[in-house]
């Protein structure tokens, strides 16, 4: 009697946990983690780059801000060719912000940058960041569909109920 009761409790707990598990895994699917890109500082701690529109045209007279730990440490304007530069920088992680674009860069001292570091940064105004390989949620986007998710939860409930009912049938005391 006690074994059947404990088994039933464990199965019901497992079924409830199984029904909640997909919802827990969907809770963090829309969290975006910032990508930090590498850039090599030029002589004198200079970071240079370009600001272009999505169609490739130079953005003239736009403000580009350099942030460190969320605070603006420098600001400059783009020239006629959309170029900008910040001088006297130290290695570290900085953010570049302009026209709704915010990109984090790890700046490396002259000669210390990894091979993948760029020497000239490129900002594209008004463009959403590209996240490669992120298609829907962790399960290929299928659990975000309400009808499918409802069917899965309903099936889990039915299976849990059938298991609980069948355990009661095998109870030696009945």
What is the structure's pLDDT at 9? 75
Cα distance between residue 174 and residue 152, in whole Å: 33
What is the structure's pLDDT at 13? 75
Evaluated on CA atoms 151, 152, 153, 157, the torsion sign reads positive
Global pTM exceeds 0.95: no
H or E stretch at 96: strand 92-98
What is the structure's pLDDT at 110? 79
What is the CATH code of the structural domain delimited by 36-124?
A: 2.60.40.10
What is the structure's pLDDT at 160? 77
- The residues, ordered by sequence, that sit 6+ positions from 153 with a Cβ below 8 Å of its Cβ are 19, 22
Query: How many C-beta atoms lie closer than 10 Å to residue 39's C-beta?
Result: 21
Cα distance between residue 149 and residue 170, in whole Å: 32
Question: Which residues of the chain fall short of a pLDDT of 70?
Answer: 1, 10, 17-34, 127-145, 148-149, 168-174
Cα atoms in the Cβ-side hemisphere of radius 13 Å centred on 117: 19
Per residue in 100-125, pLDDT (tens digit) is: 788 899 999 978 889 989 999 998 88
Cα distance between residue 109 and residue 126, in whole Å: 30
């Amino acid at each position: 009697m006690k074994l059947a009761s404990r088994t039933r409790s464990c199965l019901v707990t497992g079924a409830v946990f199984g029904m909640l598990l997909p919802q827990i895994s969907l809770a963090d699917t829309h969290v975006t983690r910032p990508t930090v890109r590498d850039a090599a500082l030029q002589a004198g701690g200079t970071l240079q780059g370009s600001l272009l529109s999505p169609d490739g045209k130079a953005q003239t007279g736009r403000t580009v801000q350099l942030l460190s730990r969320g605070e603006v440490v420098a600001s400059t304007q783009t020239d006629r060719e959309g170029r900008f530069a910040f001088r006297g920088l130290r290695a570290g992680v900085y953010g570049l912000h302009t026209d709704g674009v915010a990109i984090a860069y790890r700046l490396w001292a002259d000669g210390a940058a990894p091979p993948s570091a760029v020497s000239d940064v490129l900002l594209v105004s008004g463009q959403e960041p590209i996240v490669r390989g992120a298609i829907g949620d962790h399960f290929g986007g299928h659990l975000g569909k309400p009808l499918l998710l409802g069917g899965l939860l309903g099936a889990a409930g039915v299976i849990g109920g059938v298991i609980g009912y069948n355990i009661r049938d095998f109870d030696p005391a009945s």
